[in-house]
Structure formats: structure tokens, C-alpha cells
Structure 1
Amino acid sequence: MMDELNINEETLKSAIGEILKLNPKPGNLNNNKLVQHIVPDFSLKVEDGKLDLSINNSFIPELKINKKFREILESSNEKNKELIYVKNKLDSAKLFISSLQERNSTLFNTLNSIVNFQKEYFLTGDENKLKPMILKNIADDVKLDISTISRVANSKYIETPYGIFLVKYFFSESQSKSDGSNVSNREVKNLIIDMIKSENKVKPLTDTEIMKQLNIKGYNIARRTVSKYRENLKIPIARLRREII
């Protein structure tokens, strides 16, 4: 190397010393935060007006009982310690596989119920098509405890044509209208966002003024509910939104 670069040994050692001081992964210098990748538990496809839901089991290996052990048990009438041990392990394996299958069935039935409940949304991607839906609606439909539905909603993700969502996203409370119908409170929150985006920045809308506009549109909503929704959206009060010219 010294001959190729036409340098002496001292220069080579100095260069090696400088190289050893360098960061071998310089890209990490601006990556202090850990990037979390979400692997969806479910996948939903929309084709020709039909919804196709599937469970993502790609990260779970296929489990099955080894045929050799089963054949050994079936062909032997002896009851020595070794065979009893093998039988116990096979029974445990069968129970484990059965539990996984039951888990998958519970997950699929729960998500299938949610997808059917919110079918209009999943066909269009229009957030205003989301119906009011609470945990009890799904629990009653699939005959499971509300706590089970809650665990699924708060821990599982679904990939849709419109993005990847935590299942909890599709649940919302209802908001009554003057015509007797009920809509998702998410629809009302979207209206509040639109009103505030288009408000006079010098004289922003108060919660009372927003309430009155929503009442005119047919939403039976109180000022305190408007305040709650605005706070949920992390939008400051009118006084703090005011722009001084």
C-alpha cells in the first residue's frame, strides 16, 4: 500500500489512526429516535364493491403435529415412561394449536363484524360514512365480552386501501340530529375543524358560536360538548387563536 500510494510508514500509520476515529455508521448521527414499523394484523381489500378480509399470519410459523410421534403412539400398546411422556407432549401441542386456532377465529370474527358494521366507509374511504359504533355493538354481535373487544381494538392494526389504522379508530360515539338520525361524533369534529380553518382569524369563533352554527345544520349539540370535542382535537380557545394585525 505504501508503494502504491507513494507514502512512508509514518504517514500510513497516521492515516489509519484518523480512519479509526471515524464513525462507521454516520447515518445514525441524525437518527436518535427509534423508528417503529407497524406490521398490520389484518388486511382488507376492496374489489368490485366487495370486501375481502384476511388475517396476517406471515410472522407465525405453521404448526402441526409430527407424524412420526403420532404413528409411534398409535402402533404401540405399551405404557412405558417414554411413551407416556410423548403422549403428554403431544396432548400439550394439540391444545396449543387449538388455542391458536380459537384465537384466530376470535380475531377474525371481531374484525369481520367491525368491517360489516362500517361497510359504507370501507367501500368509499369517506370518513363521514363512519357510523357511531361502541364496543358493546360488536360484543353483542360476536357474543364476546366487551373486555375482549377492547383488547382487540387497542392492540390490533388493519391495513386498508386508505392506510393502516389501529382498530380503535373505527369506534366512535353517536351524535343526534334534529331529524331523529344519529351520526358519528367524528363527523361533528370534522365540521368543527372546517369551521375553525375558515374562520376570521382576527375574530375567531367561540365555542358558543360554533354550537349555534352546528345547531343550524341540524346537530343537537351543547356548548360544553363543542368544548370537549375542540379540546380532544387539541385546538386552543378562540382568544388564543386570534391573530393581531
Structure 2
Amino acid sequence: MLKQQLQQKLQQKLSPQQIQVIRLLELTAIELEERIKQELVDNPALEEGNNEPQSDTDTFGDDMQNEEGSNESAEDISLGDYRSEDDIPDYKLEADNFSQKDRREEIPFSGNSSFHDNLLKQLGLRNLSEQEYKIAEYIIGNIDDNGYLQRPLSAISDDLIFQVGIDVSIEKLEELLQLIQDFEPAGVGASNLRECLLLQLERRPATPANLLAYKIIDESFDEFSKKHYDKILKQYGIDESQLKDAIHEITTLNPKPGNIWGDSFSDGMSQVVPDFIVDVQDGEITLSLNNSQLPELRINRSYTQMLEDYMGNKQNQTRERKDALLFVKQKLDAAQWFVDAVKQRQQTLLQTMQVIIDLQKEFFLTGDESTLKPMILKDVAERTGFDISTISRASNSKYVQTNFGIYPLKFFFSESMQNDSGEEISSREIKKILQECIEHEDKRKPLADDKLCELLKEKGYVIARRTVAKYREQLGLPVARLRKEI
């Protein structure tokens, strides 16, 4: 039985332009630079411009009603949509935002040898047969960036049979692994932290402190890692000074030997590039976007001229010419949408950051964390008029450069709490006081969470013990037992 009915629904759908704006908003400064470069490659109608005046081709109008270019006829295309007298890119919102062409300094890049390259170089200095070299090379390939070989030798033996066609015994693998464990840095090729520390201690001089340290790691690693120092003192019949010397030797060891090579390279590749620059001079706060590496965007003039030629010759509108006309129109539309999306992204970021500055003005003037006020995403959303999700995207993975350092935008958001006088304070202020209490505690008898709770209560901050534990974990501080020192 067929039944026909009329149903009315209210749905909210995002247009392709809105989706593009959302995606661009989530990008950091470096990611946006890469995205713009990719768009310049993908869309020939978009090009990197300059400040030379052009008469009619740089920016677009606002006619974006047709989202499906393939369904648009040649008669619906208006050349006026692609004319503008303003040659300055729309997303250049601040006078002190410079383009990439304004700064043409070449920065040299130094590529250091990697951790695995260093191991292979040392392997080449050993007198090995061709097969032994291939096996040792495969073992090195299974060592992670921290310097550990966490795969069992039995699994490596199976891989060598099926992937390389080499049948090797576990005993031979152990022999070659011991050879690799003799390489620099000390501790490489260990299967766990305990073995890594033992390998390093084996190369140390046989002093009483080193011998005791080796014995503690070898026989009492669990007690040492849990800081059960009383058990260790009783087990080895030593005094606190001897234990302290042994612990000092252990703390000088490297728990991740592979990082000796990786740190300098990874740090150079993971440098934070601020998205905002906040400058304070004579009590005046100036905000600007860090657009130093962003190229200027404009429409390819040849594409606009091509569209004009097609539009001016309507008498010979063959099927091929119409297809070419629609292709040009699609590319120009895509360029229009991209430039507008970049412009809207910059405006949204500036408005969001300006509200954060207004709410946290004392911090930007003084750099004192205690002046930070409670602030959540909703507070910024209400003042900007944006949705909370928009503020979340705008603040996620973004950084601001101030006179006191570079901070992530998430740094300025914190929950609101009340002290004993009823005054609203930031949870960040409580964390700072909590950290100070732990820093000044007696390390021989560190304060438990309930004691820290009582100490904060005496200072006027009434919070629960589980809240103290949560803040302590957020600060990266261990429990009292693991903070104990002798």
C-alpha cells in the first residue's frame, strides 16, 4: 500500500565556505602557511601577489550563491563578481603584519645525523661478516628513538626468516645484541629501564658508590623505584650517607640514551611559533597577528582575463567553450572562498585574543600569574558573540608572544573558586600556592594530600582532598611517598 505524506523538517547545514572557515580556524600559524602553499599549488586561479597596483583582479565580491559550479550556466556568470579596486589582500588586517616577501632572509638549516645513523656508523667499524652485518643492522632498526630494544629476540628471529631469508639462532642474536650494547651511548639496546641503568653503571669506575648503585638496581630495583629507602638501608646494612652517594650516581644516568641525538634535532623542529604578538609600551597594549610568513594572495589576472574573453564572445558558445567557462568560474569561486575564509579566520582570531587581553589585562601588564582571573570559554564567547565551539577552535594549539614569554592560549583559561571570604579566585592561583607548599616541604617527610588540604585551608582556600590530588597531578607532582628524599 502506497502512502504519500508531507513532512516539514528544520535542519541546519554548513555550507562548503563555512566548513573551510572552521578548518582554517583550527590551524596554527605554521599549518596555515602550509595550507596556503598547498592551495596555491592546487588552484591556478590563486597566486602569490605583491604590492604593485592592479586595476581589477585582486579580490572578490560576495556573490557565492551557487555552490555547484557544474550546474551553473554561462549566462549566470557575472564578471563584476571578480573586480575590485582594492589591491591589498583582505586578510592583511594590521599595519604591522608583514608578508613573506618583506622578509627574504634565508635561514640556514643544519641537518644532524640521527641516532640510528650513529649506531650504523659504529657497526661499520666492527669486523663482521656480511650476514652478521645484516642481522645487526636489522636489530638496530628495531631499537626505538629512546634507545630501547623492546621486541623479544624470538620475534626478531622470526622476522629475519620470513622477511630477509636469514635463519639465525637466538644465541647468535644475543651475541650481536651484546656487541650493539657496547656502542655509544651507554645503555643502548636495553630491553627495559633496569637493564639500561645497569649497562651504564658497568662502564663506570668501580667506586664504592657505583658498586652499591649497581647492586641496588640489580637486586632491589622495585624498592628503589618506589623509594622504600628504609628497606634498602636494612637490606644492605648501610647508612644514609652511603645510600645518598649511590642515589646520586643513579640520578646522573640517562634513562633515555637515544635522546642524546634526538633532542637537539627535535627541539629545533618543534619550536613554537606564536600566532599573536602582544606588546606593552607605556601601559598601552598592542595586539597583532604574526603573519610574517604568510604570502599575500591575489587572483590570477590571466584567469580573470580568460573569463572576460569567454563572456565577451557569447555568439560562439559551443559546448566546449561553456565547459571551459564553467571550469574557470569554479576556480575563481574557489579562490574567492579561500581568500574570504583566511580573512574571516584572521578577524575571528583577533577578536578572540582581544577579549582575552581585556579579561586578563593585569597579567599582560605585569606578567604576574597571581593576577589571572577565572575565565572559561563561555566568558570569551559571550563577549565576542561567537559560539563556544568557535572559541575552542580559536584557542586550541595557539600561542601568544608577550613581554614575559610565550604562552599557549589555554594558559589563560581556568576555573572559578571561592576563598573563605567569598571572593572568586582562579584555580591557577591555588595551583601556584600548592606548588609552593610542596617546594618548601621537608623532603624527608613530604606532605600527604590531606596535610596539603589542611595547609591550604589555613591560607584561606577551602578545597577537598580529591581536588588537591587533581591539582597536584595536573602540576606533574607525584604522591608524597615518591617525593621523599634522604
TM category (shorter chain) comes to 0.7 to 0.9
CA drift of 1:104 comes to 0.9
2:262 corresponds, among 10, 32, 43, to: 32
Q: Is the 8 A contact 1:175 1:220 kept in 2?
A: no
What is the CA deviation profile of residues 74-100 of structure 1, one whole-angstrom value per residue up to 9, with x for unaligned ones? 686434435554444333322221111
Higher strand share: 1
Aligned to 2:359: 117
Task: Out of 129-138 and 143-152, give the one that drifted further.
Answer: 143-152
Residues 399 and 407 in structure 2, CA contact (< 8 A), matched pair in contact too: yes
Q: Equivalent residue for 2:384?
A: 142
The count of corresponding residues between Structure 1 and Structure 2 is 220
Give the C-alpha shift of residue 243 in structure 1: 3.2
Rg larger in structure: 2
Q: Say if 2:178 is the partner of 1:178.
A: no
In structure 2, the gaps of 5 or more residues are 1-110, 119-259
Larger RCO of the pair (alpha carbons < 8 Å, separation 6+): 2
Distance 1:159 1:242, change over 3 A: same
TM-score normalised by structure 1 residue count: 0.80
Provide closer, same or farther for how the CA distance between residues 66 and 197 of structure 1 changes in structure 2, counting only shifts above 3 A.
same
- Looking at structure 2, the residues matched to 232 and 157 of structure 1 have their Cα atoms a distance apart, in angstroms, of 20
* Aligned counterpart in structure 2 of residue 90 of structure 1, from 317, 332, 341: 332
The structural deviation recorded for 1:135 is: 1.1
1:62 paired with 2:288, answer no
The share of aligned pairs that are identical, in percent, is: 47
Q: Give the unaligned 5+ runs of structure 1.
A: 1-24
For the residues of structure 1 that align with 2:327 and 2:467, how far apart are their CA atoms? 63
Q: Which moved more, 1:218-227 or 1:63-72?
A: 63-72
- Distance (whole Å) between structure 2 residues aligned to residue 161 and residue 103 of structure 1: 25
1:47 paired with 2:289, answer: no
User: Normalising by structure 2, what TM-score?
Assistant: 0.42
Query: How far off its partner does 1:71 sit?
Result: 6.1
2:196 pairs with 1:196? no
Q: 2:399 aligns with which of 132, 152, 157?
A: 157
The whole-number CA distance in structure 1 between the counterparts of 2:444 and 2:306 is: 84
Aligned amino acid, residue 122 of structure 1: F
Alpha-carbon distance between aligned partners in 1 of 2:427 and 2:371, rounded to the nearest angstrom? 11
Counterparts of 1:156 and 1:234, CA distance in 2:
22
- Amino acid paired to 1:222: A
Q: Contact (CA 8 Å) 2:279, 2:285: kept in 1 or not?
A: yes
State the Cα deviation string for residues 137-159 of structure 1 (Å, max 9, x = none).
11122122222222222221111
Secondary structure of 2:443's partner?
A: coil
What is residue 187 of structure 1 aligned with on the other side? 429
The structure 1 residue matched to 2:313, chosen from 60, 78, 89, is: 78
Aligned 8 A contact 2:278 2:285 in 1: yes
